[in-house]
């Protein structure tokens, strides 16, 4: 048996013995069976949100990514903005934004 044939055979054996992708755990597969299922589920939610791309309020493109905790930057228009630790806009920020807009509207109606 020649060496080239053995190389192809080893490559095929490698593909047959490689593991499949994770079905449920996704990005938390790196933790294996450690830390418990509930904690891994919480961490999965956080890691998926922090690694996803968000819509930029300035240019309208899905290009905002996380630089560090609470710091988000648009790859297209190079704007840097503050946000939540794991997602661009937090629930508290949305509440404040709606309250401020409601107060501005009421002030405009009075004048």
Residue with tokens 């048996």: 1
The contacts found for 51-59 with CB under 8 angstroms, 24 or more apart, are 51/27, 54/87, 54/88, 57/81
40: pLDDT confidence band, cut at 50, 70 and 90? very high
pTM score over 0.85? no
Whether residue 64 is predicted with pLDDT greater than 90 in this model: the reply is yes
């Amino acid at each position: 048996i020649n060496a080239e044939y053995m190389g192809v055979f080893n490559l095929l054996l490698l593909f047959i013995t490689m593991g499949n992708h994770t079905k449920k755990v996704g990005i938390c597969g790196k933790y294996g069976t450690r830390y418990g299922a509930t904690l891994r589920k919480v961490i999965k939610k956080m890691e998926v949100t922090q690694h996803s791309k968000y819509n930029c309020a300035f240019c309208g493109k899905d290009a905002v990514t996380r630089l560090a905790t609470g710091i988000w930057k648009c790859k297209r228009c190079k704007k840097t903005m503050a946000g939540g630790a794991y997602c661009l806009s937090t629930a508290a920020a949305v509440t404040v934004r709606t309250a401020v807009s409601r107060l501005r509207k009421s002030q405009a109606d009075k004048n």
